[in-house]
Amino acid sequence: MITKLLIANRGEIACRIMRTARSMGVATVAVYSDADAKALHVRQADESVHIGPSPAAESYLVGAKIIAAAKQTGADAIHPGYGFLSENADFAQAVLDAGLIWVGPKPASIRAMGLKDAAKQLMRAAGVPVTPGYDGSDQSVERLTKEAEAIGYPVLIKAVAGGGGKGMRKVDAPADFASALESCRREAKASFGNDEVLLEKWITSPRHIEVQVFGDSHGNVVHLFERDCSLQRRHQKVIEEAPAPGMDEATREAICAAAVRAAKAVDYEGAGTIEFIADASEGLRADRIFFMEMNTRLQVEHPVTEEITGVDLVEWQLRVASWEPLPKRQEELSINGHAIEARLYAEDPAKGFLPSPGRVDRLVFDYRARVESSVEEGDLVSNFYDPMIAKVICHGADREAARTDLVRWLDNSYVGPLKTNKAFLHACLSLPTFIEELLDTGLIEREEAKLTTVREPSARVLKAAGERFREAWLDQDWDSRAYRNGLFGFRMNAPARTTIGLHIDGQRYAVDASSDDLRTGLCSDRERDGTIVVTEAGKSYFFSPSPEAAKSQASAADGAIIAPMPGKVIAVDVNEGQTVTAGQRLMVLEAMKMEHALTAPFDGVIEGLTVSAGAQVQVEALLVTVVPAGE
């Protein structure tokens, strides 16, 4: 058995792998870049090694540094996680050549499935159904145009290398083919260093179905049933579930058997996923499900499979890499209930899903779900990497039970001040078409305007905020002076309705704080700094006691440090161009005979320092900006 495991990855997957390794008595080694020096995966590891600057190309993607870190710490195995170098056959071979254990498939298996055209040809030979199309070596414009006409429009142009939707275009008419082909080739060349493409028949009602497979070094291969990943946005998965809704036993048996044949065709060892595209125009049918590609690694969505099978896939990976046989035979595996996973990101759906990096000042996760995360309160979501905050997985007796629990989790959890896609996820899970299992990969695109609508706080939200305010005032278990700028004549014993002003991003909302006890049923919370949080339909509203505090909170995520109130700067702890870390004190503002420390919202560099000690500043004055390192 492996004794010390280096995880060549970061974030939630590194934390996930460490949890299983620790339960098996395996010591763990983390690697980290400058941006991740204080990250949770570093804090949780038994040992850690710095491997370079923040950009992944200079740290996590440099295989020689990772192998050197393994040698330095005495690790005997490397787990690549997913992303980064996980499907890099050359890196896998280098790990083996260094005398280390590679927790993954053999390099030859990775290479066999690395190019989509070669993989399709191999699958066709193995009797695995493939999408009608063209994957030949003649890449001339003339040949590709002719093949597209033979397939029939619409067609899909797809880069043979890479993934993630890059180098992929749907073409509806012959007149658009040449320009779409040029665009695909240009994007594929830039992303993967390979501009070759293949053509596929466009499936009109496509569902993304994938099968988890697992092989060992003793020739055994099993499947752990299927997952449905049809809820996507621009070819990126948003919601995943297992098993696939509407899958009958005959179709399941056919697709899973095809997946096992695919894995055996490349002598597969370890965890892998066979991805299929299904024409669901008449429901799921075995003769309308076609091979797309194989992911030769653990998948982001692997927890839904673990939840319905009771199997720890990371434990299986470590055992198989240690030359043990698979822990279970096919007949010992079965489906128990239903599981759904949502990916919670620091991004702003209302602004085209732009990343929203910065410090997480407030974080509350409800207890009724499995949460895979590498973010705790006070941590930084870096602008250098994928802005995932957490994966949230709910398992229930059936699909509706799992869906309801996940919706409830979104209503009872919040993250701030960063923008997140939490309300977007809630809206996706609440779509009638999703509830009725009418899924396809274009569902989010068709409904995107509705799913990303910015909602003003409703009357129920304002009522809940008022209730929380009243409780806070009566309890007096926090510094209630923080509210005084927002009271506007508030009197606790007033005979009529009492209205106060609370703010979001500087905008004032009239909030009823009367004594009647009309409970809203919404999740609400209050913070020590006076902030009240109310959540409705997955969207969390952060009410601040004053417009200045609200604007200060809003700006913190952008790195702009703004005076929350008029006052005197009594200390400045930083200089122009100085590197600072998240939470580091930048200066102290004295106001209302109290000192207020202003801190860095994330790791970065000081720019635009406008004040010095002794300066008097007005409310909302820009004092300094923290620019993320590397910009």
Query: What's the rounded Cα separation, in Å, for the pair 436 and 431?
Result: 9
Query: What's the rounded Cα separation, in Å, for the pair 231 and 429?
Result: 10
Is the bond into 243 cis (omega within 30 degrees of 0)?
A: yes
Report the DSSP pairing between strands 133-134 and 77-79: unpaired
Query: What's the rounded Cα separation, in Å, for the pair 317 and 620?
Result: 54
555-588 per-residue burial string, b: 16 or more CB within 10 A, e: under 16: bbbbbbbbbbbebebeebebeeeeebebbeebbb
Residue at 435: amino acid letter:
I
Q: 156 — phi, psi (to 5°)?
A: -115, 125
CB contact at 8 A, 595 and 616: no
Q: How many C-beta atoms lie closer than 10 Å to residue 32's C-beta?
A: 23
3-state SS, residue 544: strand
160, burial (CB in 10 Å: exposed 0-12, middle 13-18, buried 19+):
buried
Residues belonging to the chain:
631
Query: What's the rounded Cα separation, in Å, for the pair 32 and 39?
Result: 8
Query: What's the rounded Cα separation, in Å, for the pair 266 and 279?
Result: 26
Structure tokens at 29: 């080694």
First to last CA, the chain: 44
Dihedral sign (CA 231, 363, 511, 486): negative
Q: C-alpha angle 16/19/25, rounded to 5°?
A: 145
Tally the C-alpha atoms within 13 A of residue 451's C-alpha that lie toward its C-beta.
Answer: 27
3-state SS, residue 523: strand
Enumerate residues 6+ apart whose C-beta is below 8 A from 98. 67, 70, 71
Cα distances (angstroms) measured from residue 430 to each of 20, 62, 280, 516: 33, 42, 21, 32
Enumerate residues 6+ apart whose C-beta is below 8 A from 516. none
Query: What's the rounded Cα separation, in Å, for the pair 201 and 625?
Result: 51
Instruction: Provide the 8-state DSSP code for 137.
Output: S
Write out the E strands in 16-128.
Answer: 27-33, 47-52, 77-79, 101-102
Query: What's the rounded Cα separation, in Å, for the pair 306 and 158?
Result: 31
134, burial (CB in 10 Å: exposed 0-12, middle 13-18, buried 19+):
buried
Question: In terms of DSSP H, where are the helices of 412-564?
Answer: 422-430, 432-435, 443-451, 459-475, 547-556
The catalytic residue positions are: 297
Query: What's the rounded Cα separation, in Å, for the pair 538 and 546?
Result: 24
Cα distances (angstroms) measured from residue 499 to each of 469, 470, 512, 517, 522: 11, 11, 5, 15, 20
Question: In terms of DSSP H, where are the helices of 202-322?
Answer: 249-265, 302-309, 313-321
Q: How many C-beta atoms lie closer than 10 Å to residue 69's C-beta?
A: 22
